[in-house]
Structure 1
Amino acid sequence: MKWSTNEITKKKSIDFDETLELSESLSQRSSEILNATPIHVFGQISYDNGLYLLDYQLDTVLTLPSSRSLKPVEYPMTSFVNESFASPEFLNSSTDLLDSDLIIPLDKDLISLDESVEDNILLEIPLQVLSDEEKEISELPAGQHWTVLSEDDYQAKQVEKKEEKKSPFADLDGLFD
């Protein structure tokens, strides 16, 4: 869905309630996104003294790989978005606004809801995604000659190593390696 800046300026405010199918384009932009349900987006775009204000809420369910097992995990996402756009001419005449707020300069006379939704979904992808089972199990993955440690376990092992090295011969450890 796109709006021309002329249309927004004339109407002053446009309400919308749309369902967008962006699964394929999200997957192309990020390999982390395996799938996305249709995205329900509702809000409004308005014009106010040279600024185009886009306010909306998006709701979707992303399928992302688990941080531990790489198995697909469904991750429900709800996000509230407030963006401000302005023409380059307006920004040149109002440099104080550009310095104080995050205003997106328009390179065309169009504002695309699809692009905004995609960008904001990509920004909201969490670093750690775990299935319900993985959240409940405190045991981390391990293999032959390797194991994943939590930060607490790692710190405890570091303390143990320091205590072991208090012997008088600890400085000779690794001398002939």
Structure 2
Amino acid sequence: MFHIYDIQKNPDGISFQKTLVLQDEIQTRNREVLGLSPVQVEGNVRFESGFYFLDYQMTYTITLSSSRSMEPVVLEESYPVNELFVASEAALKEQDLIDEDMVLVIEDDQIVLEESVADNILLNIPIKVLTPEEAAGSDMPSGANWSVLTEDDFKQEVQEKKEANSPFAQLQGLFADGEETE
């Protein structure tokens, strides 16, 4: 947690390197998360021209269920985060920036690093999660009278049905190759 007055006192900003344990909070907010390693966070928070800049790199391992088989999949994640804060809405002339979530408003004169990290982990959970075997293979799940198709397979199947139901499909093969008509 960084207080805005402490940030303003340091012209170079405040550098930090922390390990955050957020598994319980993340699992409370999203039940699909099976596990989360401690999050390594390294960065800087600074004040410049009326804005507070929070920049950091976060690295962690998250365990999610496979989208196909529901088997646990461990993903290693590492990416930068850049957030822009303003002390109050009144200080910002462009209300559109707040409305579009480009600028965050500081509450209680503090920037809470743990909240930012948790929010960014949840925002970056992928929709499609596959085990290495599922990603390498093209086999899709199937059962009695059903199967999962990729979008391309579905389009091909629809095209084949359309061609088979065509009124001209019955004429195919009417004339054998090599026969000439008079």
Q: Return 98-107 or 129-138, whichever deviates more.
A: 98-107
Structure 2 unmatched runs, 5+: 169-182
Distance 1:101 1:143 in 2: 44
Larger of the two Rg values belongs to structure: 2
Change (3 A) 1:145 1:57: same
Q: 1:172 matched to which residue of 2? A: none
Superposed counterparts of 1:20-35, under 5 Å: 20-35=20-35
Q: CA deviation at 1:101?
A: 8.3
Q: CA RMSD in A?
A: 1.8
Q: 1:121 matched to which residue of 2? A: 121
Change (3 A) 1:101 1:150: closer
Q: CA deviation at 1:115?
A: 0.5
Q: CA deviation at 1:97?
A: 8.3
Structure 1 unmatched runs, 5+: 169-177
User: 4+ residue stretches of structure 1 with deviation over 4 A?
Assistant: none
Distance 2:39 2:101 in 1: 28
Amino acid at match of 2:28: Q
Q: 2:91 matched to which residue of 1? A: 90
Q: 2:51 matched to which residue of 1? A: 51
Distance 1:147 1:133 in 2: 18
Distance 1:130 1:97 in 2: 38
Superposed counterparts of 1:1-177, under 5 Å: 2-12=1-11, 13-88=13-88, 89-91=90-92, 94-95=93-94, 98=97, 102-167=102-167
Give the TM-score taking structure 2 as reference length.
0.85
Distance 1:131 1:85 in 2: 38
Aligned residues: 165
Q: For residue 34 of structure 1, give the secondary structure of its aligned residue in structure 2.
A: strand
Deviation string, structure 1 residues 9-58 (Cα, Å, up to 9, x no partner)? 11231000000000110111112211100000000000112111000000
Q: CA deviation at 1:7?
A: 1.1
